[in-house]
Structure 1
């Protein structure tokens, strides 16, 4: 009887040990405003976290868990973690202790398996007292142009850190490709007189989708360009695309699928209009959003046209979808899909520096082409355009039957708003026989 009882007890203990959730791996992703610790677990795990002071520590208790990885091999450089310790607790539980360099604000959540990783427990160590993101510098001023500022373009490399983005047939990760391309684009922008570039991320770490647009606002951006290289369900789709925001939703099935895929990374956020009446706030937001979308479509069309000179296009026009990173109501924003990484040939192209450089140069050409025509007030480009206009001759045009102001503007390589301002018009209506002045382009 005693032997049978002991055997049964051992069997129960063995079954309990086998049912414990295994911690199979660990990763650390340091970012400017936080560090992300990721534990690979065999399944959902019940856990609890709390902070201790004197010295600073973070305790992570995992219920019914077993450690199957080595914390000692982890590279902790660039993170607030001095050391990671672990020990069994209450017989079947696991306690993990992070010895910290300073106090942090912890946040934890679990992620479902994706194409690269299984179940994960994520612990964010948020440095509230330290540097959030790179502090936005004052807009660069060109000294020999009457103190006019540079146009600020914020370049956003999609995904990063624990979020690899799309993965090609040969294992090429979207997050790596777009970071290299974003760096090249930012370098080209900085070399162009009258422009300054800022990157949302400079390394392999993740930034929330809403935080990317907030960062653009901190930098007083005139334009936000998010660079991606996404995938589709099948390997056939190929070609570069440019997206602007759609208030009604996506314009194609592919666009809808891509928007849903991107937005899954971040499910919170919104625009704040504190202190405004609901009706007034709605009107202001609608007006701002409409202007922003129109400008986005303008710069997007210019970028797409230049991309079409160096690469195959997926669609001939700018598409519109509800990407979260495009939802800034006051900053023109475009999302550039450099190609489909799920297509074997495009994956191969995007893995090469020469092809990424070619795409980056095309994007820069499109951006400059747009801003040369419609530069923001107070910028070097706006001042240069005014100088050219002042020194150029002015022509006149007599309105014919069937003419519209937009058609006249298009024929003379100018804009409706510029013609209205140049001729003192209150709206865009013109009459047959009316003579308007045309500034030299």
Structure 2
């Protein structure tokens, strides 16, 4: 009887303690991160625990008000929002009760926000994410429509457009090296170096899918490329694996089936993880919608795109192995959302394993990144010299070109003088790195 009575009193005491224990574990804002992009600002509140929240908007002036339950403490918001074109200020306001806080986000215009919580995923803990996107920005998937040339209305002699996609960004750091290197920073540096090389080449133009540290959803990446009239889409990444031993670069093309290698399956898994980590708003928005074109049109267009992508991948591998070890000597295939643009040839380049300490060090070395960018550029240039897109300056120049079979006693300088062009022009037209020619070699002679 006494034991039963003791058990009852102990249970009662524990029940009385629960509110106090819960009060002691109240949530708290640990930090705030703001990721501004050209058409979107993401505000991330890092919290001790999963948030219970409600929100509403107010007009004149435009505000977003968020109530977070069972949360205490004061975080200094001064200075936040100055880099965003959408967010003017974050401040506290009078809360609904003593156990909660009220946040007010002062906005520059009427914006329809998307708010969602994210669970802990390295390197972050619990988060409350607020996406502020222009109401006039079209984020919905395109309706199925016929694939047509995105240059149909342009005049001839246009530049060849290369869309360069730096993987990850913003809330999605990508893989993290042993020394703490974020993949998103490496990919952006290589993408910018590649863009500079493309823009320096007459008759070529680059589009940077992201130019800063912010996340772009997979569908949005290909939309940016398509709206810019891209002839090619290159996604730059730095690989990772569960162990530090693997090293070297690789080039990936789209597979309509699942990947048949362990590394490919890892890459597919990492891509899905990245979309949830950095683009949960897009996942929520597009969960029940049809993203792609009708299957017949998709198959027709994808066949050409995939053939072109595979040929280019071979060239990229040939150039990259001159400057780095290659993990795979042939193009690899995986089911990757970022490569599913049916009308644009697309490849994904893994520039090395950031999970390998030696390669992480190399990827942090600017000279190595420049060499990687130059290798990719050389492959792209060679590809388009042989098969320039219709309507481009390079296509027009190729129509005016002739060929010459080298005979005994002929040199580049002799041929340059004969055809009234410079030696350098002759070398560029034939993708040559030296002045040496061999008997029987067929050279392209561009118009003078």
Question: What TM-score range do you get, normalising by the shorter chain?
Answer: 0.7 to 0.9
Distance 2:138 2:290 in 1: 23
Q: CA RMSD in A?
A: 2.6
Q: Distance in 2 between matches of 1:96 and 1:168?
A: 35
Q: Distance in 1 between matches of 2:39 and 2:191?
A: 20
Question: Do residues 110 (structure 1) and 117 (structure 2) align?
Answer: yes
Instruction: Check the 8 A contact 1:155/1:197 in 2, yes or no.
Output: yes
- Which of 183, 200, 206 aligns to 1:197? It is 206
> Unpaired segments of 5 or more residues in structure 1?
1-6, 133-137, 274-280, 394-438
The aligned residue for residue 8 of structure 2 is none
Which of 307, 319, 327 matches 1:314? 327
Question: Which whole-Å deviations, capped at 9, do the CAs of 1:138-169 have from their partners, x for residues lacking one?
Answer: 98xx9xxx951111000011111111111111
TM-score, length basis structure 1 = 0.79
For the residue of structure 1 that corresponds to 2:72, the secondary structure is: strand
1:120-159 matched pairs, under 5 angstroms: 120-129=127-136, 147-159=156-168
Cα 1:252–1:10 shift into 2, 3 Å:
closer
Aligned to 1:20: 26
Q: State the Cα distance separating 1:270 from its structure 2 match.
A: 5.0
Deviation at 1:8, TM superposition (A): 11
Pick aligned residue for 1:290 from 303, 324, 336? 303
| 1:378-426: CA deviation from partner (whole Å, max 9, x where unpaired) | 111111221114x769xxxxxxxxxxxxxxxxxxxxxxxxxxxxxxxxx
The alpha carbon displacement at 1:257 in A equals: 0.6
Query: Aligned partners of 1:65 and 1:334: how far apart in 2?
Result: 46
Whether the 8 Å CA contact 2:254–2:336 is kept in 1: the answer is yes
Q: Decide whether aligned partners of structure 1 residues 131 and 186 sit closer, same or farther in structure 2, where only a CA change above 3 A counts.
A: farther
- Residue matched to 1:336: 349
* Equivalent in the alignment of 1:301: 314
Matched, 1:96 2:103: yes
| Residue 195 of structure 2: aligned partner | 186
Q: Does the alignment pair 1:45 with 2:51?
A: yes
Q: Distance in 1 between matches of 2:250 and 2:116?
A: 34
Within the candidate set 353, 356, 370, 2:366 is matched to 353
- Aligned residue for 1:58? 64
1:80 corresponds to 2:86:
yes
Shifted more, 96-105 versus 325-334: the winner is 96-105
Q: Structure 2 unaligned segments of length 5 or more: list them.
A: 1-12, 140-149, 276-282, 406-441
Distance 1:238 1:354, change over 3 A: same
Structure 1 residues 392, 382: closer, same or farther in 2, change over 3 A?
farther
Change (3 A) 1:113 1:8: closer
Superposition map of 1:383-402 within 5 A: 383-389=396-402
Q: TM-score, normalised by structure 2?
A: 0.78
